[in-house]
């Protein structure tokens, strides 16, 4: 029992350190930070509250899944930080609530779960249900653009490498396909 | 008199200043770098070379709409970019799409596929998946039986398609060639079919993550599809096709018969896939 409690505390401490660290979407974007529940074998992010808020406020969701130990995530976050002055107003103008799911590379697709209301689905199941072809492989960082019903507004690419310039980030916000 | 001349100069100058001011204001309003780098119809140095090699100085009509290409601006994975080709005319004995060239301008091997078609296709629409190595154009050139050339192109923003480590969990099934008829069979009418070959289609640019050695190239070279012993199409392909190369195509079943695909790869391995088709 003691070992389990210790492991749970270590896990909680690990994710607290994520929240406290510099990782994640820069504060200028007013992200809703969601920390995972569960343990290393089942890491669950609950989107229920942000989806309800998006519906209530008639907004879109820009959901970012980053990993604490992922260099490409830091690169994208640095890009957002460097261009916050220019980009923050476009996230607002195009009506997005930015959501920051904080994970780790050890959370692979078989360990990642997404909860919406009473339903908790594994990454692959969740992606299949919403019709996202990235079900095939989880690549960090990952971005979804959703409406308030968590319907994808556009099929997004794996990773963020193709929208790390201001014009390209705008293409994403404008849902240019 | 002199005053009038000065006034005559001042008025156009004032309009020029106003126009410049309006332009500057518009520029200031425009979000810096709004999507501007995407010109689907543009040429490229790579394309000019390929064009000269394949078509010399023949005229290529890029505005006729007789061939259309649908590709997402950003595909989820660079190693499997979905491509849909639609032809604007039915395949008849009198006039048909004789050949389709699929080009990925900036790939190490830019000519991804050359399809040699017959009227048995019924409607020269194809879908497949390509590797795209860097930002650039995908083009499809349709050659009609009367010699006309038509082109459609799309700029895509993906990269790394030729270097992404392949999914190697199907090596025991290499060469397995499977047909599907996703919409059933329709007699004497273009009927959709899919053919897929289980094959890693290794490019030679992929790194084995464990040995840190490059995986040698090993890819499908040709897929020849027939129905009831009549050629439907031959595809000469290379590693710009995704792993597990596939085509969605049409054929016209005029009676019961067998769909057959003969596949050859760069190790001179031959594979055959068949599907018996009965009519309703």
| CA-only gyration radius of chain B, Å | 25
Q: Could you tell me the pLDDT band of residue B24, with boundaries at 50, 70 and 90?
A: very low
Nearest to A157 among B33, B35, B74 (CB): B74
Q: Which of B30, B38, B76, B81 to mutate to test the interface with A (most CBs of A within 10 A)?
A: B76
**Are the beta carbons of A166 and B158 separated by less than 8 Å?**
no
A84-93 and A71-82 helices cross at what angle (nearest 10)?
90
Which chain B residues have any C-beta within 8 angstroms of a chain A C-beta? 31-37, 72-77, 157-159
Arithmetic mean of pLDDT, B84-107: 95
Count the neighbouring beta carbons within 10 Å of the beta carbon of residue B202: 20
Q: What percent of chain B has pLDDT over 90?
A: 69
Q: Is A30 on the interface with B (CB under 8 A)?
A: no
Show residues of chain B in contact with A79, CB under 8 Å.
none
Domain ranges of chain B: 45-277
Does B178 have pLDDT greater than 80? yes
| ipTM over cut 0.90 | no
Helices and strands per DSSP (H, E), number in chain A: 6, 8
Q: Is A165 on the interface with B (CB under 8 A)?
A: yes
Alpha carbon of A167: minimum distance to chain B alpha carbons (Å) = 5
Across chain B, mean pLDDT equals: 87
Show residues of chain A in contact with B31, CB under 8 Å.
86, 90, 166, 170
- Among A54-68, B79-93, B194-208, where is mean pLDDT lowest? B194-208
Does B265 have pLDDT greater than 70? yes
What global pTM score does this model have?
A: 0.81
Q: How many CB pairs under 8 A join A and B?
A: 52
Query: Can you give the pLDDT at residue B165?
Result: 65
Rounded distance, CA B100 to CA B162, Å?
Answer: 22
Across chain A, mean pLDDT equals: 90
Does B36 have pLDDT greater than 80? no
Q: Is A176 on the interface with B (CB under 8 A)?
A: yes
Q: Is A142 on the interface with B (CB under 8 A)?
A: no
CA A5 to chain centre: 28
In sequence order, the 6+-apart residues with CB closer than 8 A to the CB of A149 are A51, A55
Q: Could you tell me the pLDDT band of residue B254, with boundaries at 50, 70 and 90?
A: very high
Q: Could you tell me the pLDDT band of residue B170, with boundaries at 50, 70 and 90?
A: confident
The topology under which CATH files domain B45-277 is Immunoglobulin-like (2.60.40)
Handedness of CA A149, A155, A158, A159 (dihedral sign): negative
- Among A93-102, A165-174, B168-177, where is mean pLDDT lowest? B168-177
Arithmetic mean of pLDDT, B22-42: 54
3 state SS for chain B: CHHHHHHHHHHHHHHHHHHHHHHHHHHHHCCCCCCCCCCCCCCCHHHHHHHHHHHCCCCCECCCCCEEEECCCCCCCCCCEEEEEEECCECCCCCCEEEEEEEECCCCCCEEEEEEECHHHCECCEEEEECCCCCEEEEEEEEECCCCEEEEEEEECCCCCCCCCCCCCCHHHCCCEEEECCCCCCCCCCEEEEEEECCCCECCCCECCCCCCECCCECEEEEEEEECCEEEEEEEECCCECCCCEEEEEECCCCCEEEEEEEEECCCCEEEEEEEECCC
Show residues of chain A in contact with B32, CB under 8 Å.
86, 166-167
Alpha carbon of B165: minimum distance to chain A alpha carbons (Å) = 12
All domains in chain A, ordered by first residue: 2-173 (3.40.30.10)
Phi and psi angles of residue B66, each rounded to the nearest 5 degrees, phi first:
-75, -15
Arithmetic mean of pLDDT, B226-243: 96
Rounded distance, CA A130 to CA B139, Å?
Answer: 31
User: A125-174: per-residue pLDDT in tens?
Assistant: 999 999 999 998 899 999 999 999 999 999 999 999 999 999 999 999 99
CA B88 to chain centre: 16
Rounded distance, CA A38 to CA A8, Å?
Answer: 9
């Amino acid at each position: 029992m003691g070992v389990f409690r210790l492991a749970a505390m270590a896990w909680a401490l690990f994710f607290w350190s994520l929240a406290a660290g510099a990782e994640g979407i820069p504060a200028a974007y007013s992200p809703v930070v969601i920390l995972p529940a569960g343990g290393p074998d089942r890491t669950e992010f609950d989107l229920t509250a942000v989806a309800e808020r998006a519906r209530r406020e008639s907004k879109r969701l820009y959901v970012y899944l980053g990993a604490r130990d992922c260099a490409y995530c830091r690169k994208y976050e640095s890009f957002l930080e460097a261009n916050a002055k220019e980009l923050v107003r476009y996230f607002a103008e195009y009506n997005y609530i930015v959501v920051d799911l904080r994970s780790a590379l050890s959370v692979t697709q078989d360990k990642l779960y997404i909860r919406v209301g009473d339903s908790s689905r594994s990454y692959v199941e969740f992606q299949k249900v919403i019709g996202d072809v990235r079900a095939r492989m989880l690549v960090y960082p990952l971005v979804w653009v959703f409406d308030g019903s968590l319907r994808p507004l556009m099929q997004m690419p794996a990773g963020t490498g193709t929208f790390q310039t201001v014009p390209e980030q705008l293409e994403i916000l404008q849902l240019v396909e | 008199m002199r005053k009038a001349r000065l006034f005559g100069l001042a008025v156009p100058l004032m309009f020029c200043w106003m126009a410049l001011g309006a332009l500057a204001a518009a520029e200031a309003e425009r979000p810096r770098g709004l999507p501007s780098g995407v010109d689907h119809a543009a040429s490229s140095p790579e394309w000019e070379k390929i064009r000269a090699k394949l078509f010399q100085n023949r005229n290529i009509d890029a505005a006729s709409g007789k061939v259309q290409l649908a590709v997402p601006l950003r595909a989820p994975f660079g190693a499997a970019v979905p491509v849909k080709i639609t032809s604007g005319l039915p395949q008849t004995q009198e006039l048909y799409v004789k050949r389709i060239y699929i080009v990925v301008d900036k790939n190490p091997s830019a000519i991804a596929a050359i399809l040699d078609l017959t009227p048995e296709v019924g409607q020269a629409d194809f879908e497949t998946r390509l590797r795209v190595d860097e930002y650039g154009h995908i083009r499809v050139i349709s050659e009609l039986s009367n010699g006309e050339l038509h082109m459609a192109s799309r700029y895509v923003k993906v990269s790394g398609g030729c270097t992404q480590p392949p999914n190697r969990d199907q090596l025991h099934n290499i060469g397995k060639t499977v047909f599907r008829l996703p919409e059933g069979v329709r007699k004497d009418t273009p009927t959709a079919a899919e053919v897929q070959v289980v094959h890693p289609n290794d490019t030679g640019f992929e790194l084995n993550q464990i040995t840190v050695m490059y995986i040698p190239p090993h890819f499908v070279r040709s897929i020849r599809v027939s129905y009831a012993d009549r050629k439907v199409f031959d595809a000469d392909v290379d590693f710009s096709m995704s792993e597990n190369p596939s085509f969605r195509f049409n054929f016209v079943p005029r009676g019961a018969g067998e769909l057959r695909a003969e596949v050859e790869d760069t190790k001179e391995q031959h594979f055959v896939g068949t599907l018996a088709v009965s009519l309703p």
